[in-house]
Structure 1
Amino acid sequence: MNTIMRKSVLGLAGLAFAGGVVGGPIAAHNTQSVDARPVAVLQADKPAVDKAKLIPHGVQGEQSHIDLNDEQIANVKAIIAATKKSGLDERAAVISIATSLQESKLENLGHLGDANDHDSLGLFQQRPSSGWGTPEQITDPEYSTMAFLKGLKQVDGWQDMPLTEAAQTVQVSAYPDAYAQWEQQAADLVAQYWNS
């Protein structure tokens, strides 16, 4: 080992020893109690979602919330996966999930008989008779989300619109303002599952 390298190694060892002597006894006599409650652990490989981008206009109106079962959470994850596959961002996922919360409560609905709204099916209550696809396609969560997102991409400036306006432009609902009530829950779901 050359002389410069040896001096560097010995110097680092000396600093480590000095730090242990100074830090050791002080640390050993620390009498402050430690809060033993569990803390959230963030994984370094999964960056947090920028929550400001999820709701850029703030929520509009009173917000609704429902508890989700495993099937509904699986549909949330399917919507997020399809959004990523389509190359769109978290805001598009928020709009998609809020739309599905309004249309089907995130349930992949088949034909409901007399309770059916015309021939509306799936997560987004899309209609085969309106050109959204076949019943089999519309009841496939990936397909129905991709179809919704294709419509969203065709809306000029959807990124800068309030959620309810963007969703209504795609869905053409009889209740255009109803989508807004789901924005907070949709944003919370995207924040929770986008990087999972």
Structure 2
Amino acid sequence: MSETDRSRSRRRRPLRVALGLAVLLAVVGYFAVQRSSNGGGAPYCTATATGAGSASAGTEQSYEMTPEQASNAATIAAVGISKGLPDRAVTIALATAMQESALRNLDHGDRDSLGLFQQRPSQGWGTPEQIMDPVYSAGIFYDRLAEIKGYTRLPLTVAAQRVQLSGFPQAYAKHEPDATVLTAAFGESATPATLTCSGPAPAAGDPERIRAELTRAFGKEALGTAHGGVTAGRAKPGAVPEAEVTLRLKKDGGPVEARRGRAMAHWAVARSKELGIARVSYGTSGWTAGTGGNRWQPRGTGGSDPHDPVADEVRIFVARRG
């Protein structure tokens, strides 16, 4: 190669690098815009907590998931709460499922391992059909965890290993920070935390299916004081009619009911895509699918809007076909 050719090659190199960087930035920018737009891009969910676990006060942590992962995380948390177990149990269960299946309900695994926790039918965990049911698999994990004396005081890896008998017991440790963030969103009332999901608003859902799924995850008590109706009569003219499933909490129930209310509200957000849930209201805030940056937004409490929160209630709104 002549000196002139070498000189030209050297001059072209920065140009190629600059063009490559520009293309990369354009691609990143495109997906960022798609993701932040209302209903654009692939749906995703984010759990955010401030000062969760060992994090210092004021430190914000977040964990991102697909809707499938969020739905499974919500189910794991709901089953633990329905059993009256502490947040530590929920964190152990979530970290275990993160390691074993990445919060996916797998129909395969090592040897005959299946499901969220990679439980084996041959080792007495249940039938394949049972293990593939997230409510069942979470329930039997908690049952065996609760048999371990003092499990809440054990390191997470030790507690998880005594249930799972894994070949890689230390692998659970790396998931503890993210599992703590998820637990804060679904459980702890003392930690400021939320779970939000993006994606387009669902076309329609079935209130009866939502009631059935709530009962499976949280137990019969979840619907013991529930009622439902249609908000079309109170909605603004031209609005899409919405069926409502309302879950009334026990008045003056304290932290226990606050924990349950938050868990049910975030369960509804996590499963919104799957169940056709358009809106959720709880406390002083509301979440609407496909709008408002996908975040919980402060709402009035005077009933000026038909979707406003009501004290001691979790309100779930389901879009109906016109």
Mapping 1:118-137, distance limit 5 Å? 118-137=111-130
RMSD (Å), alpha carbons? 2.1
Equivalent residue number for residue 133 of structure 2: 140
Summarize the Cα distance change of 1:106–1:173 in structure 2 as closer, same or farther, 3 Å threshold: same
2:245 match: none
Extract unaligned runs of 5+ from structure 1. Answer: 1-48, 59-64
- Is 1:68 the equivalent of 2:65? yes
**1:13 matched residue in structure 2:** none
Letter in 1 for 2:132: T
Is 1:158–2:151 an aligned residue pair?
yes
Whether the 8 Å contact between 2:63 and 2:182 is mirrored in structure 1 is no
Are 1:83 and 2:89 matched, yes or no? no
2:175 aligned partner: 182
* Higher share in strand: 2
Give 4+ residue runs of structure 1 displaced > 6 Å after superposition: 49-52
Scaled by the length of structure 1, the TM-score of the pair is: 0.64
| Count of residue correspondences | 135
> Which structure: larger Rg?
1
Matches of 1:142 and 1:51, distance apart in 2: 29
> Post-superposition shift, 1:51?
6.2
Shift of 1:159: 0.8
* Superposed CA offset, 1:24-47 (max 9, x none): xxxxxxxxxxxxxxxxxxxxxxxx
* Code of the aligned partner of 1:87: G
With CA pairs under 8 Å and 6+ residues apart, which has the higher RCO, 1 or 2? 1
Question: Which protein is richer in helix relative to its size?
Answer: 1
User: What per-residue deviation string (whole Å, max 9, x for no partner) do you get for residues 132-189 of structure 1?
Assistant: 0011110111100111011101111101001010000000000011100000000001
C-alpha distance in 2 between matches for 1:123 and 1:166 = 17
Percent of pairs identical after alignment? 47
Change (3 A) 1:191 1:77: same
TM-score of the superposed pair, with normalisation by structure 2: 0.40
Compared with structure 1, are the counterparts of its residues 185 and 138 closer, same or farther at alpha carbon in structure 2 (3 Å cutoff)?
same
**Is the contact made by 1:51 and 1:191 (CA closer than 8 Å) also made in structure 2?**
no
Question: How many Å separate the matches in 2 of 1:50 and 1:68?
Answer: 18
Q: Secondary structure, in 3 states, of the residue corresponding to 1:126?
A: coil
Q: Which runs of 5+ in 2 are unaligned?
A: 1-48, 56-61, 188-261, 267-322
Q: Is the 8 A contact 2:63 2:181 kept in 1?
A: no
Q: 1:103 to 1:128 in 2, by over 3 A?
A: same
Q: Structure 1, residues 35-83: CA drift from partner, whole Å, max 9, x if none?
A: xxxxxxxxxxxxxx9967x56xx8xxxxxx9741000000010001100
In 2, the alpha carbon distance for the partners of 1:92 and 1:109 equals 22
Instruction: Please say if residues 75 and 106 of structure 1, whose CA atoms lie closer than 8 Å, have aligned partners that are also in contact.
Output: yes
